């Protein structure tokens, strides 16, 4: 079998040049290869070094909650894009409301009642509008990092009786694959040092504290019903999320 030495052909016919294991490694997408560079935390979430982010564009964004600035950041490592909403004048001395929001297409766009994500985002925007200052980083880590298609596969397993953590594990993923290192870089570029983090997730709090931010947690509580109660209970018991009694009614 004759092998071409153009890059495309080399990647698609690498088995004729290298042992199978190495050929398969070359065929993996960049995101998979980068995932191998991560280190897992005790609860299943991952951390990896962020090579930095670059600020690419900025514009006004009128919303139902009020007027924000929307800023585009991009990771220098893997090209992940981060839309960021900014309100008011930011500085390093004023404790500032911040939300690191993991993308949830089903909740944010389709208003799913399987989770509380979309309502948390809306609530965070309203709190920032009321205060006149704050930041929302919209992180594209759908399904705690597994992507929308695998998230729908996880939903199928949940329909059969598994909880949100069990479903991710059954698909071969860790319970939580999200990373926050690039979010840290974004907040530093925005000049923040003191953060009032709107989150129930201890991993997000720890990520900012370990990066040197002064962090105060602001609980982000939204109304729930029987359709989200089991989901919230699982996040509390298996992922360590912090909820008040009213969240788990």
- Pinpoint the alpha helices (H) of 146-201: 148-159, 164-170, 181-189
**Beta strands in 120-224, from DSSP E residues, in sequence order:** 134-139, 194-198, 214-218
Which residue out of 178, 185, 196, 203 is catalytically annotated? 178
| Whether 228 contacts 106, CB under 8 Å | no
Q: How many CB atoms lie within 10 A of CB 227?
A: 11
**40, β-bridge pairs:** 46
3-state DSSP assignment of residue 195:
strand
Our answer to whether residue 116 is catalytic in this structure is no
As a whole number of angstroms, the distance between CA 68 and CA 59 comes to 9
Residues with Cβ within 8 Å of residue 197, at least 6 apart in sequence? 98, 99, 100, 204, 205, 208, 215, 216, 217, 218
Six-digit token string for 166:
């069990």
Which residue out of 176, 185, 203, 247 is catalytically annotated? 176
Order of strands, edge to edge, in the sheet holding 67-75?
53-62, 67-75, 81-87, 134-139, 96-102, 194-198, 214-218
Our answer to whether residue 176 is catalytic in this structure is yes
Active site residues: 176, 178
């Amino acid at each position: 079998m004759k092998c071409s030495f153009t890059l495309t052909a080399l990647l698609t016919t690498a088995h004729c040049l290298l042992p199978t294991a190495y050929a398969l490694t070359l065929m993996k997408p960049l995101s998979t290869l980068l995932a191998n560079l991560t280190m897992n935390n005790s609860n299943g979430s991952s951390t990896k070094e962020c090579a930095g982010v670059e600020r690419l564009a900025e514009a006004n964004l009128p919303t139902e909650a009020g007027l924000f600035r929307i800023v585009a950041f991009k990771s220098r490592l893997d090209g992940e894009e981060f839309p960021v909403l900014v309100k008011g004048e930011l500085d390093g001395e004023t404790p500032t409301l911040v939300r690191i929001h993991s993308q949830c297409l089903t909740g944010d766009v389709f208003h799913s009642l399987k989770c509380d994500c979309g309502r948390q985002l809306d609530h965070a925007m309203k709190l920032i509008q009321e205060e006149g200052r704050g930041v929302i980083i919209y992180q594209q880590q759908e399904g705690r990092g597994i992507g929308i298609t695998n998230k729908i596969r996880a939903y199928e397993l949940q329909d059969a009786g598994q909880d949100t953590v069990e479903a991710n594990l059954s698909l071969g993923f860790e319970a939580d694959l999200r990373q926050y290192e690039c979010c840290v870089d974004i907040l530093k570029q925005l000049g923040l040092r003191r953060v009032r983090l709107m989150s129930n997730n201890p991993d997000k709090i720890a990520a900012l504290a370990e990066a040197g931010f002064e962090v105060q947690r602001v609980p982000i509580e939204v109304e729930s019903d029987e359709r989200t109660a089991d989901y919230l209970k699982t996040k509390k018991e298996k992922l360590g999320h912090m909820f008040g009694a009213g969240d788990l009614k």
